Amino acid sequence: MNATINLENKHFPVLLKELISIISPLYGGTFIDCTFGQGGYSKKILENTNNKVLAIDRDIDVSYFSKNFEKKYKNRFEFYNTKFSQINNIIIKNNDLRGIIFDLGYSSDQIKNLSKGLSFHSKGTLNMKMGINDFSANDVISKMSEKNLIKIFKVFGEENFSKKIVKKIIELRKIKNIKTEDLTRIIDSIKKYNNSKINNSTKVFQALRMFVNKEVSELMSGLINAYNLLPIGGVIAVVTFHSLEDKIVKFFFKNYSENQNSSRYFPDKNEKIKCFELKQKKPIVPDFNELKQNPPSRSAKLRYAIKINKNCEFDEFVKKFKFLTDVENLKFNK
């Protein structure tokens, strides 16, 4: 067992019963769990012996759980240590793919794993790598220019104090390597009169995590490749945990489930075909009982769409969020 795994950290799969109610009419085939984690969704799906699960996770630490699944479910479960943007490389046997699931949150195990440094309660070197990464949060804080750091914190964290925080980072990194506790102290010193209910460091840590793991391009590529892999009638379901993720998923499903003509009297001959059918336009959110059992689920939103057409193009989707991927591709130029 990997030393970082803590089996006492109880994991609650968010919106589980709602997700199962969406995909259960499609039971009797293969489902892809794009964010395996501790296997909460996979386990529930595999309770039906007619189902198979192909699980993906870029975090190699979760292989402890995946190995147990491979033993228990044998020919009905496979695990891939890869990023879900690479979902198109997975071969579906028997051509029986029914649904693809994304849970964009982090498990309690990952948050409490101090070596990953996802939490502002961590100590030591900044990390935030979830696996298969090119650089760490330490590289970003140590090497990124002042201008680019401000842009990362503003765009991915929506941090109003970005300029002041970055100015102090630049000053401190001239004399020492900034560790996790140093960064939180800098943020607290700037936001000491902040009356927000969330921790002072939440937005900056979110921004760093998103940048280090290229979460925007991962999500966008994952959605597009999931569509391409899925047969007509299959479902894509996504659980998001912050507004930026939800905005991307909402646009992807809503924009490509509607006809958008300039005039209803003079329809465009090049009318965009509908890629998806939406059974429910509004997101599904946790009910009172789930919020009571698992308070971190409060920000979760579940959206899903059914594929109804082949050969859809997503140039508009890519263009819509290019400003985010441009920030994600900023280079170190300290």
What amino acid occupies position 288? F
Q: Rounded to 5 degrees, what are φ and ψ at 238?
A: -135, 130
Query: Rounded to an integer, what distance in angstroms lies between the CA atom of residue 140 and that of residue 127?
Result: 10
For the packed helices 243-255 and 215-229, what is the interaxial angle rounded to 10 degrees? 30
**Measured in Å, how far apart are the chain's first and last C-alpha atoms?**
40
Third-level CATH fold of 114-213: DNA polymerase; domain 1 (1.10.150)
Cβ-Cβ contacts under 8 Å for 296 (sequence gap 6 or more): 105
Q: Which pLDDT score, from 0 to 100, does residue 333 have?
A: 75
Query: Rounded to an integer, what distance in angstroms lies between the CA atom of residue 16 and that of residue 34?
Result: 15
Q: Rounded to 5 degrees, what are φ and ψ at 83?
A: -85, 145
Partners of residue 101 on adjacent β-strands:
33, 237
Q: Which pLDDT score, from 0 to 100, does residue 113 have?
A: 65
Query: Rounded to an integer, what distance in angstroms lies between the CA atom of residue 232 and that of residue 220?
Result: 20
How many angstroms separate the Cα of 255 from the Cα of each of 106, 184, 236? 28, 39, 15
Query: Would you tell me which CATH number, out of the four given (3.40.50.720, 3.50.50.60, 3.40.50.300, 3.40.50.150), belongs to the domain 16-103+215-310?
Result: 3.40.50.150
The token pair that represents 39 in the structure block: 């296997």
DSSP code per residue over 295-316: GGGGG-EEEEEEE--SS---HH
Series of mean pLDDT values for 10-residue runs along the chain (334 residues)? 42 90 97 96 97 96 93 95 95 91 79 65 88 95 97 96 98 96 96 82 94 97 97 97 95 90 49 89 94 88 97 96 97 78
**What is the DSSP code (8-state) at residue 82?**
S
Query: Rounded to an integer, what distance in angstroms lies between the CA atom of residue 242 and that of residue 104?
Result: 9
Residue 20 contacts residue 42 (beta carbons within 8 Å): no
Q: Is the pTM of this model over 0.85?
A: yes
Query: Rounded to an integer, what distance in angstroms lies between the CA atom of residue 287 and that of residue 171?
Result: 46
Rounded to a whole number of angstroms, the CA Rg of the chain reads 21
Q: Which pLDDT score, from 0 to 100, does residue 114 have?
A: 62
Q: Which pLDDT score, from 0 to 100, does residue 6 have?
A: 45
Q: Which pLDDT score, from 0 to 100, does residue 8 have?
A: 43
Query: Rounded to an integer, what distance in angstroms lies between the CA atom of residue 190 and that of residue 168?
Result: 9
The token pair that represents 160 in the structure block: 């109003």
Query: Rounded to an integer, what distance in angstroms lies between the CA atom of residue 103 and that of residue 106?
Result: 8
Q: Which pLDDT score, from 0 to 100, does residue 309 have?
A: 96
Q: Report domain extents, the chain.
A: 16-103+215-310, 114-213
